[in-house]
A and B are shown apart, each in its own frame.
Chain A
Amino acid sequence: MDVFVQQLINGLTLGSIYGLIAIGYTMVFGIIGMVNFAHGDVFMVSSFIALICFLLVTTVLGITSIFLALAIVLVVAMFFTSLMNWAIERVAYRPLRGSFRLAPMISAIGMSIFLANFVQVAQGPRNKPVPPMITDVIVIMERDGYQVTLAWKQIIIMVLTTVLLAGFWYLVQKTSLGRAQRAVEQDRKMAALLGINVDHTISLTFVIGAALAAVAGTMYLMYYGVANFADGFVPGVKAFTAAVLGGIGSLPGAVLGGLLIGLIEVFWSAYFSIEYKDVAAFSILAITLIFLPQGLLGRPEVEKV
């Protein structure tokens, strides 16, 4: 029971991070119908930006308040990651919009390889450890010496995810930007005829996706205390699995999927085998796509003849 509660907490934390990345996949897939393969690497780059910013803020500027430092890091990482994703869309995807459908996908794979190796070249291949921050924990239960703890950083991650999700949910559902987004999603040509700036809307989608990935990247860095150039691909695939599991195109679905994937991964590692945890994630991806392609909260598709 105590192990279970502890894993539940850990799983929800990890799931929140996956959920934040998954939103980027789901929004981009929704609006231009492509799997943005590079998104996992965008997340990885964001954690490096956060790392560099954190080092600058703490060592050069000498800010000692960890919360102030985190807030600054978060904003800076969001800004630079958004700029990067905007540029990626502009350079690698926009010229291919409406052409051969395979082309954007290949381009995205190329971009993913490029980003990972760019970071490897620029920052070196080794793990970058950061000293643990915010180490305080709340002990929830204690039995036979086994403590079930809820760390403050876990609370921060979950609260931040909830707040951001609420914010972006509002943005997509209630504002004119969200309306434009949904219109472009439905019919790009008609939306353009009705005066919606399609390019602008798609760019903004990439920017929002990247901003959320940057939050995830910062949280990941804070939680695990390490950044590595190769840490984009697998979290990226898991987040994509989350997006598909939740129902691609659906924002709450992405978060729900993220939480589920996080929980499954954590429980699988705890109760079965840690070696096969990535196999489990990939298997869930395959099984979901094969048997439940519309996801939990998505709409089923009827074959048009």
Chain B
Amino acid sequence: MAEIAAPVHNWDKDPILEVQHLFMRFGGLIAVNDLSFKVGRGDITALIGPNGAGKTTVFNCITGFYKPSEGRLVLGHGRAPTEEELATVTLNGERALVGSNSGVYLLERMPDYKVSGEAKVARTFQNIRLFTGMTVLENLMVAQHNVLMSASGYSLKGLFGLPSWNSAQKQATERAKYWLDKVGLTERADDPAGDLPYGAQRRLEIARAMCSGPILLCLDEPAAGLNPRESLELNELLRAVRAEHGTSILLIEHDMSVVMEISDHVVVLDYGTKISDGTPEAVKHDPRVIAAYLGVDEDAVEDVEAVLDEATGTQS
């Protein structure tokens, strides 16, 4: 995007995730078409766009549920990877290159459970996916599966109740309690997750994702179905997550009050392509975004685009 003499944004300086030329095709349908954007470390980034724009597909690609048709998804632990690191890991066909305090992960090469378990990208779902028949606390314990599994010596230590396992379990419970407290569900820890009201289920899903210790948290419409008060609480929670844990957040959202209020960076999708990318302020006034949302008819869009092209001389 052309912002003349734009300040250098955080997402350009220190991206945690770089989506490069992402394509996703289903048969003849192109759901995501040459999409590139960056997610800044420590930023709250919003991915917005009209219904059917391909936002959830992008999410599914990032979190490994879909294998992208083309493109590279670079996740950097600690710091953004250097060009050489990136070239090495891409060329030698590995999934990741992990150093002592930094690491680069190519998410498109990883199966879904490794994206979460190794690359530390957690997600929530548009239609909440809790373990409804398990209690709230159990949901949070499952999220710490990998840590607990090795602590239980792959069940052997656990089967005989060795002290090292018991202390690991206690530690996991403490962590769960911390997050229960954060999302205000301590009182309901022993209730089945399916019994919670809708808003609480949304919060629990976020708490569960955080229990897996992510560095990037992907939220698929976290404010959907929340009332205004709950939306405000959600904003607070997300800010706290970032401030206290340094977790970067990527979210899909339709609720503009949430998007404009908390995000540092907004990426707008329409028909699988990026139509705008920048600060909330910049995006809000982008004529293409307005056209996409208000549904200007086709001629008008072309007019707008012609004007834009003339004005900027570039194309995204």
Contacts and interface: CB of A to CB of B under 8 A. Distances in A.
Interface of A: 302-303, 305
B131 interface: no
A298 to B, nearest CB: 15
B26 A302 contact: yes
A305 B67 CA distance: 13
Contacts, number: 7
B37 interface: no
Q: Which 4 A-B pairs have the closest CB atoms?
A: A305-B65, A305-B60, A305-B125, A302-B26
Contacts of B56: 305
Nearest to B129: A305
Contacts of B65: 303, 305
5 contacts: A302-B26, A303-B65, A305-B56, A305-B60, A305-B65
Contacts of B26: 302
A303 B60 CA distance: 11
Nearest to B57: A305
Contacts of B60: 305
Nearest to B66: A305
A254 B66 CA distance: 32
A305 B66 CA distance: 9
Contacts of A303: 65
A294 to B, nearest CB: 14
Interface residues of B, number: 6
A281 B60 CA distance: 38
B82 to A, nearest CB: 33
Contacts of A305: 56, 60, 65-66, 125
B290 to A, nearest CB: 31
A161 to B, nearest CB: 34
Interface in B40-79: 56, 60, 65-66
A99 to B, nearest CB: 16
A65 to B, nearest CB: 56
B194 to A, nearest CB: 15
A302 B26 CA distance: 10
Contacts of A302: 26
B129 to A, nearest CB: 9
B67 to A, nearest CB: 12
B112 to A, nearest CB: 9
A305 B220 CA distance: 11
A68 B99 CA distance: 85
B124 to A, nearest CB: 12
Nearest to A305: B65
Interface string B23-38: 0001000000000000
Nearest to A300: B27
Nearest to B56: A305
Interface string B109-139: 0000000000000000100000000000000
A224 B56 CA distance: 57
A35 B22 CA distance: 41
A164 B143 CA distance: 55
Contacts of B66: 305
B55 to A, nearest CB: 13
A233 B265 CA distance: 63
A121 B306 CA distance: 84
Nearest to A304: B127
A303 B66 CA distance: 9
Contacts of B125: 305
A302 B60 CA distance: 13
B28 to A, nearest CB: 14
A305 B58 CA distance: 12
A129 to B, nearest CB: 54
A305 B126 CA distance: 9
A254 to B, nearest CB: 25
Interface in B83-106: none
A303 B57 CA distance: 12
A302 B65 CA distance: 11
A303 B67 CA distance: 12
Nearest to B59: A305
B50 to A, nearest CB: 20
Nearest to A302: B26
A184 B66 CA distance: 30
A119 B263 CA distance: 71
A186 to B, nearest CB: 20
B47 to A, nearest CB: 16
A222 B133 CA distance: 54
B111 to A, nearest CB: 13
A301 to B, nearest CB: 13
A305 B124 CA distance: 11
B89 to A, nearest CB: 27
A302 B125 CA distance: 17
A299 to B, nearest CB: 11
A157 B200 CA distance: 63
A253 to B, nearest CB: 20
A305 B125 CA distance: 8
A302 B56 CA distance: 15
A85 to B, nearest CB: 35
B212 to A, nearest CB: 17
A257 B60 CA distance: 36
A98 to B, nearest CB: 18
A305 B129 CA distance: 10
Nearest to A303: B65
